[in-house]
Chains A and B, each alone.
Chain A
Amino acid sequence: MAIAAKEFKSYLFSPMAYIVTTFFLAVTGLFFAISPSTYNETSISGFLSTWWALLLLASVLTMRLLAEERKLGTIELLLTAPVRDSEVILGKFLGSLGILTVMLALTLYYPLLLWVFGDPDGGPIGTSYLGLFLLGCTALAVGIFASSLTSNQIVAAVVSGGILFALWFLGTAAQFVPEALGNVIGFFSLSQYFPDFIRGIIDTRSIVYYLSVTALFLFLAIRTLDNSRWS
């Protein structure tokens, strides 16, 4: 996948990725460090409370993926090369997923510290990372969709941030409407399924939810790309 490789490399060579990583590690590290006083347990709960940093990070990482192609005109090369639109989008997705995985791997020293200084429960930590990874996939897919809509990177970031936080807080909103309706709305919320992973539960529904939202937004991005031919 030439496109995935190219995107991954261009992250490594751009200052943006390093700034974002630094920010991400600083924020998550801070929350992790103060967590013993908040949670009073040997866990990475403090780190996990920074889910919002992950959403921001994904928005910033993906904002340039297609918006910049439009701005530079290189979109003409991608759309006239003998590759399918779906390959373009998947390539972009895998490239950004690669860099996100690296960033998550860099946070692994939080649990390592716990093992050095205490005796944490490994199960929930493992499932938490699975949850973070899935949430990350979803956020990247939303970001790529937003980036496919515009040639302006800032607009792309704001749109994807908007969609992600709206999806997250659907869960909160669900509490304020009649229960039946609330349950339905809750099913669509990003935040509905995350706590399970933190508690160490792997529920198939959760995995299916995150993967299908990811697929949905990647599909929308592919449609948007194809649609630009018909303008």
Chain B
Amino acid sequence: MIRVENLTKYYGTRLAVDNISFRVEKGEIVGFLGPNAAGKTTTMRIITGFLAPTRGNVWVAGHNISSQSLDARRHIGYLPEAVPLYTDMTVRSYLDFLARIRGLDNDKIKTRIDEVVDTCHLEEYIDVIVGKLSKGFRQRVGVAQAIIHEPDVLILDEPTIGIDPIQVSMTRQLIKELGKEHTILLSTHILPEVSVICERVIIIHEGKIVAEDSIKNLSSMISGTKRIRLEVEGPSKKIAERLRKISGITKVSYQDSQYTVECSAGQDPRAKIMEAIVQSGWSLLSMESVEMSLEDIFLRLTSEEESEQ
């Protein structure tokens, strides 16, 4: 549905997006993850046709965004980072205007407005001036305008930024709901959000893609090294030394009676650990295997990138 090839964007001499390529297939919800100023918004603006690329190509629903721009744009629903609202219009007239400029047929407009208002739970606010709505509701109006013309592709730039936690979870629910009928590319710098909503994640850092995979694969790929957390009673130094001798364990760190053990890929030395500790006469209070969180993956990827440079 979305195909990005060798996309590069310079702002003057500053490189914002550096030769990235990726695809989003029909029906996918893909998270576009990266720290602030990584190039997420720039990439999305190019996909939607708001900015022109310096080099490279983008296809949306088979249409090139540069040479067949209008055709491509017809298939896109876009929610920019700062929700763009005409603050002096009512929700109804705002949606009506956007439906019209997106080329929706006259006779369909009314029913579509009712439908999106229903989807986004805005029934009570339909005749309220947009400028008087709270941030969370503005966000929902923003989502409503993005889906009013039933686009195949939704581009959502930081859709949950700046709204309260309850509304964040409502918005996430809404996005998951929309994902059943739309192909969605959403950007965020909030990690848990990606694992909640998305099936696949593209991690971008300083204008480059540093990882791209399903969330599950990404965890196991990077983790490779598994982590085990222990709580042991006994002399810390001796325990750490003993743990290091166990085969398959690559790294041991500790603080008080808490130990974190990293082991090489495919190894599960938990039984050996238990044996060693019990034989030495210490007591094992707890032991758990820890999945590397998206946060760990993210930090590792972006810091590796930095150390290469």
Contact = CB atoms under 8 A, between A and B. Distances in A.
Interface of A: 2-3, 6, 9-10, 13-14, 72-84, 229-231
A230 B52 CA distance: 6
A79 B98 contact: no
A230 B103 CA distance: 26
A76 B84 contact: yes
Interface stretch (B72-80, B159-167, B280-288): B72-80
Nearest to A230: B52
Given A79-B50, A80-B48, A80-B76, A74 B86 contact: yes
Interface string B79-117: 010111111110001000110111100000000000000
Main SS of the interface on chain A? helix
B49 interface: yes
Interface residues of B, number: 30
Nearest to B145: A77
A81 B80 contact: no
B70 A82 contact: yes
Contacts of B76: 80
Contacts, number: 66
A81 B11 contact: no
Contacts of A230: 51-52
Interface of B: 11, 45, 48-52, 70-71, 73-74, 76, 78, 80, 82-89, 93, 97-98, 100-103, 145
B80 A73 contact: yes
Nearest to B47: A80
Given A74-B84, A80-B78, A81-B73, A3 B101 contact: yes
A72 B103 contact: no
B40 to A, nearest CB: 15
Contacts of B98: 77, 81
A123 B89 CA distance: 43
A172 to B, nearest CB: 40
B84 A82 contact: no
A83 B86 contact: no
Contacts of A229: 49-52
21 contacts: A2-B97, A10-B88, A72-B84, A73-B83, A74-B84, A76-B50, A77-B98, A77-B145, A78-B101, A79-B49, A80-B48, A80-B49, A80-B50, A81-B101, A81-B102, A82-B70, A82-B71, A82-B74, A229-B50, A229-B52, A231-B51
B135 to A, nearest CB: 14
Contact of A72 (B52, B87, B145): B87
A65 B70 CA distance: 23
B149 to A, nearest CB: 9
A82 B73 contact: yes
Nearest to B48: A80
Nearest to A76: B80
B80 A2 contact: no
A69 B106 CA distance: 25
A77 B97 CA distance: 11
A195 to B, nearest CB: 40
Contacts of B83: 73
B70 A84 contact: yes
B154 to A, nearest CB: 12
Contacts of B11: 231
B128 to A, nearest CB: 15
Nearest to B102: A81
B50 A2 contact: no
Given A77-B84, A229-B50, A82 B145 contact: no
A55 to B, nearest CB: 26
Contact of B101 (A2, A75, A231): A2
Contacts of A77: 78, 80, 84, 98, 101, 145
A11 to B, nearest CB: 11
A78 B80 CA distance: 12
A2 B49 contact: no
B68 to A, nearest CB: 11
